[in-house]
Amino acid sequence: SMPVVADEIEGFAGPLAGVLAGMDWAASKGAEHIVTAAADTPFFPADLVPQLQLAAESQMKPIALARTDNGRHPTFGLWPVSLRDDLREALGDGVRKVVQWTDVHGTAMADFPTGRFDPFFNVNTPEDLALAEGYAS
């Protein structure tokens, strides 16, 4: 079973609140990093984690995000737990956009090929679901 970690920020603070909750949980376990992935993205690459780690190391940046020809995918990232206090402060100051916060710290990009479709395609509507079913067949 997997632990469920709730956001501690009141109201809807967006994905960064989830990143912070993950960082806090990981810190309690002695981890140095967390990886995030969107739950509505069924086709993300199997090599996501090693590619994010490679990008962060080779580009010498603390945070790594996924990118395709369609742009950055900021909910797919490698995050150092050491930035959690800074993130908590930013959220307290009203920061909600992921890239607004990540760009301050330096962000490596892990590039992924698009192929037949963007592997970070997310399913939000019945039409998206139909497309996903087609991609999966």
> How many Å apart are CA 24 and CA 28, to the nearest integer?
6
Is the pTM above the cut of 0.85?
Answer: yes
For position 64, which CATH number holds? 3.90.550.10
Amino acid at 40: D
- 120, 65 in Cβ contact below 8 A? no
- Mean pLDDT (whole number) for 10-29: 93
Please, which pLDDT band fits residue 8 given cuts at 50, 70 and 90? Answer: confident
pLDDT at 12: 84
- What does the pLDDT look like over 61-118, one tens digit per residue? 999 999 999 999 999 999 999 999 999 999 999 999 999 999 999 999 999 999 889 9
Strand partners, 44: none
> Is residue 1 a part of any domain in this protein?
no
> Is residue 5 a part of any domain in this protein?
no
- Residue 54, class by beta-carbon neighbours within 10 Å (0-12 exposed, 13-18 middle, 19+ buried)? middle
> Is residue 8 a part of any domain in this protein?
no
Query: What residue numbers bound the domain in which 92 lies?
Result: 15-136
Q: At 121, list the tokens.
A: 């395609």
- Residue 14, class by beta-carbon neighbours within 10 Å (0-12 exposed, 13-18 middle, 19+ buried)? middle
> Is residue 125 a part of any domain in this protein?
yes
- 115, 90 in Cβ contact below 8 A? no
> Is residue 22 a part of any domain in this protein?
yes
> How many Å apart are CA 53 and CA 62, to the nearest integer?
10
pLDDT at 9: 83
If one counts the domains in the chain, the total is 1
